[in-house]
Amino acid sequence: MPLPKAELHLHVEGTLEPELAFALAARNGVELPYADTEELRKAYAFDDLQSFLNLYYELMAVLRTEQDFEDLADAYLERAAAQGVRHAEIFFDPQAHLARGVAMGTVVEGLWRALGRSEEKHGVSTRLIMCFLRDESADSALETLEAAKPYLDRIVGVGLDSAEVGHPPAEFRAVYEAAAALGLRRVAHAGEEGPPEYITEALDVLGVERVDHGLRCMEDPALVERLVRERVPLTLCPLSNVRLRAVDTLADHPLAAMLDAGLLCTVNSDDPAYFGGYAGDNFHAVRDALGLSEEHMRRLARNSFAASFLEDDEERRARYLSEVDAYEFGGR
C-alpha cells in the first residue's frame, strides 16, 4: 500500500497521456501533427518551461467536450489513487480553452462530472483551482474570473501559471483582490524559473497562501527564513524540475536542504503525463535520489495534508493525517 498523500500541484491538462490524446483526437476529428504515440513521446524532450508549454498548449486542441474533460480528469484520478493520493487540488487553465472556443461551462461541468464522483469511485477527495495565464493580460484574467462566476461553488481558489520570467506577480494584483473578495483561496507559481523576488511579490502583493514551486527561494536566505517563520507551504515538483532543467539531475534537487531548513515542502507531479511520473513516482524518485529517510517521507505526506485547503472539512484532514501517522513503511 502506498504512503497516503495529497497532491496540491497538478495541472489537469498536464495529465493528458499520448494514448488519450490520440483517442480524443479521433473522437473529435482533430488532426495531430504526430504519426503516433511513439512519435509524440519523442517530442517530450524539453529545454525549459517555454518549450514544454508549446507542446502542452498544442495538445489541448483535442479537448473539446464535457466528456473529454471528464475522461481526462477521471483517468488522472484513477492513476493518482493507485499511487496513494487521497486528496487532490487540481489546477485548470480556462483561458487556454476559451481561446479555442470551448466555453467555461464545458470545462468546469466536464471536470466536475469526474470530480463529483471521485470519492465514491476512486477514494480521492478533490478541490478545483482555476489558474490565470500570466503571459496573457491582467484584463484577460479579470474577464476569466467574471466568466467563472456562475461556477464558483465548484472552485476553491485561483492560481497563476504559464511562462514566468518577464511576467511578475504584481501585474495580477487586481484580479487577486477580486478573487479574495469572492472568498477564493489564492496560490501562484513563483520561483520556478523566475527570481526569488517573484516569491516575495506573490506573498505581499497577491496574498498567496501557498507558493507553487518556490524552488529559487534558496537563493535568498532572508526569504527562506520568512517562509519558515510564516509556515508558507511550497508545492515542489521534482521530476518537473529535472525535465524543464530547473535542476540538472534529481540528485542536485534542493528538497533535502529545504526540508532541513525547516521549509514546509510538499512533493507533487505538476504535469505527470509529460514529466515521467505521478505523485507516488515523485515521492519514490526523491527518496532514492536524495536518500530521504522514512521520517522525511512521512513529513512530506503530513505536510501535503497540512497545506491542503481542507479548512471546510477538518475532520477529513485529521483522518488523513492519522492514516499517515499509522502508515508502516515496507518496501516501496
Ligand X SMILES: Nc1ncnc2[nH]cnc12
Number of residues that bind Zn ion (CB under 5 A): 1
Q: By C-beta, is 4 or 238 nearer to ligand X?
A: 238
Query: Are 76 and 33 spatial neighbours (Cβ–Cβ below 8 Å)?
Result: no
When asked if residue 74 is in the footprint of Zn ion (CB under 5 A), the reply is: no
Nearest distance from C-beta of residue 163 to ligand X, angstroms: 7
Q: By C-beta, is 4 or 7 nearer to ligand X?
A: 7
Query: Are 114 and 80 spatial neighbours (Cβ–Cβ below 8 Å)?
Result: no
Nearest distance from C-beta of residue 49 to ligand X, angstroms: 6
Interacting stretch for Zn ion, rule CB under 5 A, among 20-28, 218-226, 269-277, 301-309? 269-277
Q: Among Zn ion, ligand X, none, what binds residue 3 when CB lies within 5 to 8 Å by partner kind?
A: none
Nearest distance from C-beta of residue 271 to Zn ion, angstroms: 7
Interacting stretch for Zn ion, rule CB under 5 A, among 43-51, 132-140, 263-271, 286-294? 263-271
Interacting stretch for Zn ion, rule CB under 5 A, among 180-188, 203-211, 243-251, 264-272? 264-272
- Cα separation of 225 and 262, whole Å? 9
Q: Among Zn ion, ligand X, none, what binds residue 14 when CB lies within 5 to 8 Å by partner kind?
A: ligand X
Nearest distance from C-beta of residue 24 to ligand X, angstroms: 18
Q: Among ligand X, Zn ion, none, what binds residue 192 when CB lies within 5 to 8 Å by partner kind?
A: ligand X
CA-wise closest residue to 78 among 268, 257, 247, 279: 279
Q: 314-326 and 294-306 are packed helices; what angle lies between their axes, rounded to 10 degrees?
A: 170
* Spatial CB neighbours of 270, under 8 Å, sequence gap ≥ 6: 9, 10, 11, 14, 237, 239, 240
Catalytic residue among 7, 13, 164, 192: 192
- Cα separation of 170 and 151, whole Å? 26
271 annotated binding-site participant = yes
- Cα separation of 157 and 206, whole Å? 13
Nearest distance from C-beta of residue 11 to ligand X, angstroms: 4
189 annotated binding-site participant = yes
Counting Cα atoms < 13 Å in the Cβ hemisphere of 42 gives 6
Please confirm, yes or no, whether 89 is among the known catalytic residues: no
When asked if residue 13 is in the footprint of Zn ion (CB under 5 A), the reply is: no
When asked if residue 270 is in the footprint of Zn ion (CB under 5 A), the reply is: yes
Q: Among Zn ion, ligand X, none, what binds residue 134 when CB lies within 5 to 8 Å by partner kind?
A: none
Q: By C-beta, is 32 or 63 nearer to Zn ion?
A: 63
87 annotated binding-site participant = no
Q: By C-beta, is 170 or 228 nearer to ligand X?
A: 170
- Residues classed as catalytic: 192
The residues binding Zn ion (CB under 5 A) are 270
- Please state the residue numbers annotated as binding site for Zn(2+): 9, 11, 189, 270
